[in-house]
Amino acid sequence: MSGSVDPAAAPRGSGEHGVSTGRLYGVGLGPGDPELVTVRAARLIAAADVVAFHAAQHGRSVARSVAAPYLRAGQVEELLVYPVTTETTDHPGGYQGAIDEFYEAAAARLAAHLDAGRDVVVLAEGDPFFYGSYMHMHKRLAHRYPTEVVPGVTSVSGAAAAVGRPLVERDEVLTVLPGTLPPEELAEWLATTDSAAVVKLGRTFGNVRAAFDAAGVLDRALYVERASTDRQRTAPLADVDPDTVPYFSLALLPSRLTDPAPAPADACAEPRPGEVVVVGLGPGARCWTTPEAADALAAADDLVGYGPYLDRVPANPRQTRHASDNRVEAERAAHALELARSGRRVAVVSSGDPGVFAMAAAVLEVAERPEHAGVPVRVLPGLTAAQAVAARVGAPLGHDFAVVSLSDVRKPWDVVVDRLRHTSAADLVLALYNPRSRARPHQLAQAQTVLLEGRKPDTVVVVGRDVGGPEESIRVTTLGELDPETVDMRCCVLVGSSQTRVSRTGAVYSPRTHGGPAAHPGS
């Protein structure tokens, strides 16, 4: 059985001397909300033998507090307390010397667990490789032990979500800057980028705000503190008191392109005309609806169509559905155009392709009326029933073919018969739509008789019913053996040409070059 491997059951690695060791995990926790911890991170935290986390000298670890819901009893906890953060130090190597010595000692503590075969998870706020303390353990241990890094939601992503502003769009550039840079360097970056995030605030806040001001972008800048937590605070950067700024905060410069849209200049102005999009769903399965059609359906305010076709579109409470009977195409088209004229985005839904015996022609006919002038109409193609049935058996439409509807609702039956005779004489593969209904039970049998006037009884015939749907069936037979009683309106019938054949593997196809031997089912 395939699936994800349980981290607790992951194989041990080998250390420098081939001895079995534990595994090192750098696990991102996201910006602060425990519910933003990924499923994988939570699973690894719960499975670990040892959980390590950093803290300042007060000993309170933000990382541990975020991970607390996922810890279990009996785990070893390694509290890694920085010897210095913003304080002074008497270390001979100064601040950097004290920090380097701390990282070496912390790495040694974790290495002792790994050498003993224990899995170690090092917790990291945000993402382990985004200004995170974990990376110092990674540099010292990853080359010695099997290691995995689990990414987390960054503080920048959490802050953007908190203020509800996209950071960049299209081909814009986002610049991430540490607040510890000199103010003049910060100002230079801020003046030349599309969008920016400045992290590591706290005591650097005064210089950071001065840099935004010097770059001429302070009026656009936003401040976010402790994003995603119950202590979250957001404000314009210019309004923030420097004495209230904690380390876990950042400044954002959203791009001008993501500014909220201005309100309409005249809310009482005449509404602009909407649009009608005639959409083909394909013949059955949702996977046969094109992405273009799916986009149009998702963007619509109103869906108009025959009830069973509308039922195939996923429900959306934002949208209004207008279902109607299958025999009122003109009324349906007029309703869609009236809705669009009032400013609505309307999708008229068809099965298959809307331009093949479906709603596209009906909408375009009604759109020519004077009262609908100026309403735009677009038609989006769909997979046809003939294509779907053909693909199920092979390639019977591989050469020239014709499509004829046996319905005589909109054309006389003698016209249908005349067209059948001409397509038969032309030796075209024939796709028959609307082959037989309760109101027209006799017409397929009459069509079969007409076609047999010019085609051999052993001509290949394919009957596809509800292709792509839950009751799909496909039958390959011959023109002479076709039983019209087994066909209904949910079927599409393909009648082969003299060249259409059934291969030894059972595939039906019409050769691309005309003139080969005639078809013999089963040959």
- pLDDT band of residue 523 (cuts 50, 70, 90) is very low
At 362, which CATH number?
Answer: 3.40.1010.10
Q: Does residue 365 sit in the same domain as residue 420?
A: no
Beta-bridge partner residues of 176: 197
Using one digit for the tens of pLDDT, what is the confidence trace for 1-21?
333 334 444 555 655 555 689
How is residue 48 written in tokens?
């670990």
| Confidence check: pLDDT of 384 > 80 | yes
Give a yes or no: residue 397 inside a domain. Answer: yes
Share of the chain above pLDDT 90, in %: 73
Distances (CA, A) of 306 to 70, 128, 443: 51, 54, 24
- The bridge status of strand 345-350 relative to strand 275-280 is parallel
Beta-bridge partner residues of 519: none
- pLDDT band of residue 86 (cuts 50, 70, 90) is low
Domain endpoint, select from 380, 413, 434 = 380
How confident is the prediction for the chain on average, in pLDDT?
A: 89
Give a yes or no: residue 519 inside a domain. Answer: no
Q: Does residue 173 sit in the same domain as residue 133?
A: no
- The bridge status of strand 76-81 relative to strand 50-55 is parallel
- If you average pLDDT over residues 179-197, what whole number do you get? 95
| Contact in structure between 396 and 521 (CB atoms under 8 Å) | no
Q: Does residue 94 sit in the same domain as residue 205?
A: no
Using one digit for the tens of pLDDT, what is the confidence trace for 454-466?
899 999 999 999 9
Q: What is the pLDDT of residue 88?
A: 60
| Confidence check: pLDDT of 50 > 80 | yes
At 245, which CATH number?
Answer: 3.30.950.10
Q: What is the pLDDT of residue 192?
A: 93
**241-247 contacts, C-beta under 8 A, 24 or more apart:** 242/205, 242/206, 242/209, 245/201, 245/202, 245/205, 246/201, 246/202, 247/200, 247/201, 247/202
| Confidence check: pLDDT of 220 > 90 | yes
Q: What is the pLDDT of residue 522?
A: 41
Sign of CA dihedral 513, 515, 520, 522: negative
Q: Which residues fall within 8 angstroms of residue 414, CB to CB, at 6 or more apart?
A: none
Q: What is the pLDDT of residue 287?
A: 85
| Confidence check: pLDDT of 115 > 60 | yes
Using one digit for the tens of pLDDT, what is the confidence trace for 248-303?
899 999 988 877 655 455 545 455 568 999 999 998 778 889 989 998 998 899 99
Give a yes or no: residue 499 inside a domain. Answer: yes
Using one digit for the tens of pLDDT, what is the confidence trace for 413-444?
999 999 999 999 999 999 999 998 888 888 89
What values do phi and psi take at 148, rounded to 5? -135, 140
Q: Per mean pLDDT, which range of 145-159, 255-269, 489-503 is the poorest?
A: 255-269
Domain endpoint, select from 124, 153, 182 = 153
Angle at 112 between CA 109 and CA 117, to 5 degrees: 135
Q: Does residue 396 sit in the same domain as residue 346?
A: no
| Contact in structure between 281 and 300 (CB atoms under 8 Å) | no
Exposed / middle / buried, residue 306 (Cβ in 10 Å: 0-12, 13-18, 19+)? buried
Q: Does residue 244 sit in the same domain as residue 126?
A: no
| Confidence check: pLDDT of 480 > 70 | yes
| Contact in structure between 479 and 455 (CB atoms under 8 Å) | yes
- pLDDT band of residue 154 (cuts 50, 70, 90) is very high
Q: Does residue 254 sit in the same domain as residue 362?
A: no
Give a yes or no: residue 2 inside a domain. Answer: no
| Confidence check: pLDDT of 84 > 90 | no
Tally of structural domains, the chain:
4
CA 65 to chain centre: 33
Q: Does residue 183 sit in the same domain as residue 206?
A: yes
- Which range marks the domain in which residue 51 is found? 7-153
Q: Does residue 338 sit in the same domain as residue 436?
A: no
Give a yes or no: residue 522 inside a domain. Answer: no
- If you average pLDDT over residues 143-156, what whole number do you get? 97
- If you average pLDDT over residues 328-356, what whole number do you get? 92
| Contact in structure between 40 and 51 (CB atoms under 8 Å) | no
Strand order in the sheet with 249-253: 174-178, 195-199, 249-253, 222-225, 233-236
Q: Which residues fall within 8 angstroms of residue 296, CB to CB, at 6 or more apart?
A: 277, 279, 347, 378, 380
Give a yes or no: residue 206 inside a domain. Answer: yes
Q: Does residue 441 sit in the same domain as residue 502?
A: yes
| Confidence check: pLDDT of 56 > 50 | yes
DSSP, residue by residue, 65-121:
HHHGGG--TT-EEEEEE-S-SSS----TTHHHHHHHHHHHHHHHHHHHHHHTT--EE
Give a yes or no: residue 475 inside a domain. Answer: yes
Q: Does residue 487 sit in the same domain as residue 405?
A: yes
Domain endpoint, select from 131, 153, 175 = 153
Q: Does residue 369 sit in the same domain as residue 399?
A: no
| Contact in structure between 512 and 398 (CB atoms under 8 Å) | yes
The total number of residues written for the chain in this structure:
523
Share of the chain above pLDDT 70, in %: 90
Q: Does residue 144 sit in the same domain as residue 40?
A: yes
Give a yes or no: residue 266 inside a domain. Answer: no
Whole-angstrom distance, CA of residue 157 vs CA of residue 223 = 13
